[in-house]
Structure 1
Amino acid sequence: KNTMAELSPTAGESNYSQDIQVDEKLVPKKGLSLCSTRYGIALIIHVCNFIAAAQSTVINITMVAMVNTTDHQFQFNGSTEQLPGGPNNAPDSLPAEGSIFGGQNALWERWGPPHERSRLCTIALSGMLLGTFTITLVGGLISQTLGWPFAFYIFGGIGCVYCPFWFILIYDDPVSHPWINVTEKEYIISSLAQQIHVSSQKQPLPIKAMLKSLPLWSICVCSFGHQWLVAILITYTPTYISSVFSVNIRDNGLLSALPFIIAWVIGILGGYLADFLLTKNVRLVTVRKIATFLGNFPSSALLVALPYLPPSYITTMTFLTLSCGLSPLCQSGIYINALDLAPRYSSFLMGTTRGLANIAALLAPTVSGFLLNQDSEFGWRNVFLLLFAINLSGLIFYLICGDAVVQDWAKGRKLTRL
């Protein structure tokens, strides 16, 4: 006889050790929405990602100032190609950031009703875009007026101030949260309970099965291709604008930041669109693949077309803005797909897949800088063609092998009483 006591809200964390599958027909009465605790948690994670992105991207903005001066004052002296691979050869993120995203996924496993999970995750992840926008916009100004070290002091200080709020306001699940509304708590628990197979036993990671899982590998490969795209957009957008139009550093900051604020808006709207499609009985795997396709193919195709068009300020900025703006639609696709495949191991998988994908953030600037230095005439064409090839390969692999149902190796053994 199956043990059902663990589904009780009083069971603590054990009632969240689960395999979650979306069942569009069983949706409980909706709890509080925008002013709810779960959306507050999404906002707190949004700020966390804002800080993480700003801190990892600031090196791209201050690199030239570090090399070109010794008195800590920013003096942009023209060419941005004097460093190996350009001034932005430092990666925009490190693989160690995978732990941040793994921890976030563990929260959504317990806080995110299946029909709201896309929007909650995209609200949280979009903080990275806002952080990139902010540091791109004000990083150069801070370096010019205060000196480049202050860019690190300011955003590092913001992170220190933020940490206590995380420790005070974030809880593992609705059951343990002291201030959550009762209606909302019941809504979240009932949403998850309808799709749960519970096991309180600690089970080892099925490493061998994971390594053989094509849906999991498709997430890794496609995420790698998308992160290559993101790395080029963040690292080389300022350089491209400068090299093509010889725009000064102040104007360059404004122009370079514009695509990221557009991306911030589209990323959040994409999450709402994904959840809307689910309410219309569109299959979950279809929603994930549509979001992933729209976040990859148009963005890389727009970039690869740039070198073949006559130089036009308006056309270039339009293409860059659209490319960057559409890219975060992947947040509703591959970046939360691990939660569909294996909710029990989602935090580990999210951290691992994101960490592997972020290797692209290390390789893309280095390889692209080499291509630009080797061929001054066709350098940008080669950079964008390579980007398109890597991005398209990962996308095709995901469209063929991607899935959105709980995998056999991720299903817990049900407890029985003799």
Structure 2
Amino acid sequence: MEQVKFLKCFGSFPKLDKFTIVNKRFTLSFLMCIGFTIMSSGILLTHGNRCLNSSHGEIDDPFVHLSSFFIGYIIIQVPAAWVSLKFTPIIWFGRTIFVYAILLFAVALFANLGYVFLVVLKFFEGALSGIAFIVCNAAWKNWTPAAERSTLLTFALAGGYLGDFFGILMSIFCTSIPSWRLICCMIGSFGIIWWLVWERTVYETPNKHPTISDEELNQIHPIIAQEIRPTESVSFKQIILSTPFLVLLAVNIVRSWNARFSRYLAEDIIIISFIKFTSFPLSGYLADVLVRKTSLTRTNVRKLFIVGVTLLEAVYFFTSMYHDHLNKGSWLYLISFLMHILYDVAFSAVSINAVDIAPSHAGVTVAITNIISHIITTFRYNIYVLLKEIGWNDVTNYIAIVGHLIVGVVFGIYGTAEPVTVKGQ
């Protein structure tokens, strides 16, 4: 096995093939969740000014090192998608977390060489984060049937939100910690331990796993093979020009722009992080339950989550236009928490839908939607400020909200959870 060869230098490190939480596929999801938690914790720790000020003096504007992270994250998306097609994505996920753990030690040990060095490290941090996200989405094509995709993938990705939660807490209190670099080393150590467990536990496909039960193997392997086979011969051009992908791309564009309406008070950031960590995976689980327990199809559930929330958001956005500030205790303030929950419900459905329509090429669909969404999310506030200065903000807001309604309706008509296949197959 590839991962065994990679670990020869570690001698007789014990095999952990029998390590199981409920079943092998949920164990995989759990380990991915922990991996993302480790990575996101480290990222948020070094994003904040409080920690960096202790070694670099007063950093009034984090624009440079945050931009470096963003550039690294964006430019690696397409190469990472290529890697996910040419190599084993599940193995690359583990190695990416391992390299990131080593990078955290570099941040802790060498960050005092100067702010420029930190900016370079943040670039590589962004690149590793981008690789991990893409290969995680691509890895599930061999491990989860469509009926369980929402549960397993959202739980794995929720580790990023849990890491954000821990990272925010650490960045808030890091001024009272003797050394934030010590925390970096601790997170890096957890990452190395996690990787050792991962390399001895995870295998490329269910039929290559030596200790998977016959019941679980027979339950998922034939179904996955049947679902994947018709999608393997689809070309990139067919996918990116297909109606389901173009509709999903439009939904991502409009929702990313209008996410600026989903406001919250700075003091509530910890609560918001907790909401994201809990509501995102629970909505994924609920989606699969609705398919199993009701007559709704996966397409029906995706439309329910995306269209239903999108229409409710349009009403909320229109109302919030006339309230420049959130007053703590007001009805709009309380509703804002509900809307954040609903946003994560819709976001989970949008995220999974990128895998639904191209399970064999999930790295490609996720990379394209991710690039566009992050670019819009990053620059939307600056654009909004510019429009406000020239007096176009109200008109732009109305157009954005109408667009929100339109893409919701369009997804309701043309959206699907069925994969794009070659005609005739």
Q: Same fold (TM over 0.5)?
A: yes
CA distance in 2, matches of 1:341, 1:46: 23
Partner in structure 2 of residue 313 of structure 1: 328
Q: Which structure has more helix as a fraction of its residues?
A: 2
CA distance in 2, matches of 1:50, 1:231: 25
Q: 1:370 to 1:158 in 2, by over 3 A?
A: farther
CA deviation profile, 1:38-74 (whole Å, cap 9, x unmatched): 11111112123333444444455x14765xx575578
Q: How far has the Cα of 1:125 moved from its partner?
A: 2.0
Alignment partner of 1:338 out of 354, 361, 370: 354
Amino acid at match of 2:236: I
Whether 1:207 and 2:236 are equivalent positions in the alignment is yes
CA distance in 2, matches of 1:275, 1:269: 10
Amino acid at match of 2:252: S
Q: How far has the Cα of 1:264 moved from its partner?
A: 2.2
Whether 1:364 and 2:351 are equivalent positions in the alignment is no
Given that residues 143 and 150 in structure 1 are in contact (C-alpha distance below 8 angstroms), is that contact kept between their aligned partners in structure 2? no
CA distance in 2, matches of 1:340, 1:126: 18
Alignment partner of 2:148 out of 116, 120, 127: 116
- Identity rate of aligned residues, in percent? 20
Written as runs of structure 1 = structure 2, the 5 A alignment for 1:246-325 is 252=267, 255-279=268-292, 280-299=294-313, 301-302=315-316, 305-306=319-320, 308-309=322-323, 311-315=326-330, 317-325=333-341
Greater than 6 Å deviation, 4+ residue runs: 87-93, 381-387
The TM-score with structure 1 as length reference comes to: 0.68
CA deviation profile, 1:77-106 (whole Å, cap 9, x unmatched): xxxxx7599x98888793345543432233
CA distance in 1, matches of 2:343, 2:191: 26
Q: 1:100 to 1:331 in 2, by over 3 A?
A: farther
Aligned to 1:116, what secondary structure does the other structure show?
Answer: helix
The TM-score with structure 2 as length reference comes to: 0.67
Q: 1:170 to 1:318 in 2, by over 3 A?
A: farther
Q: 1:115 to 1:323 in 2, by over 3 A?
A: same
Q: Which has the higher mean CA deviation after the structures are superposed, 306-315 or 103-112?
A: 306-315
Alignment partner of 2:38 out of 51, 58, 76: 51
Amino acid at match of 1:328: D
CA deviation profile, 1:335-387 (whole Å, cap 9, x unmatched): 12233322232233223322332222332354356568x59x999x8998787
Amino acid at match of 1:283: T
CA distance in 1, matches of 2:138, 2:55: 45
Amino acid at match of 1:191: I
CA distance in 2, matches of 1:53, 1:226: 23
CA deviation profile, 1:315-341 (whole Å, cap 9, x unmatched): 354233222222221354221223332
Structure 2 unaligned segments of length 5 or more: list them: 1-19, 77-128
Q: 1:362 to 1:321 in 2, by over 3 A?
A: same
Q: How far has the Cα of 1:111 moved from its partner?
A: 1.2
Whether 1:222 and 2:251 are equivalent positions in the alignment is yes
User: Over aligned residue pairs, what C-alpha RMSD do you find?
Assistant: 4.2
Partner in structure 1 of residue 24 of structure 2: 37
Q: 1:216 to 1:312 in 2, by over 3 A?
A: same
Amino acid at match of 1:43: F
CA distance in 1, matches of 2:146, 2:284: 12
Written as runs of structure 1 = structure 2, the 5 A alignment for 1:62-211 is 62-63=48-49, 66=52, 69=53, 83=61, 94-95=73-74, 96=76, 97-146=129-178, 155=187, 158-193=190-225, 195=227, 197=229, 203=233, 206-211=235-240
Q: How far has the Cα of 1:35 moved from its partner?
A: 0.9
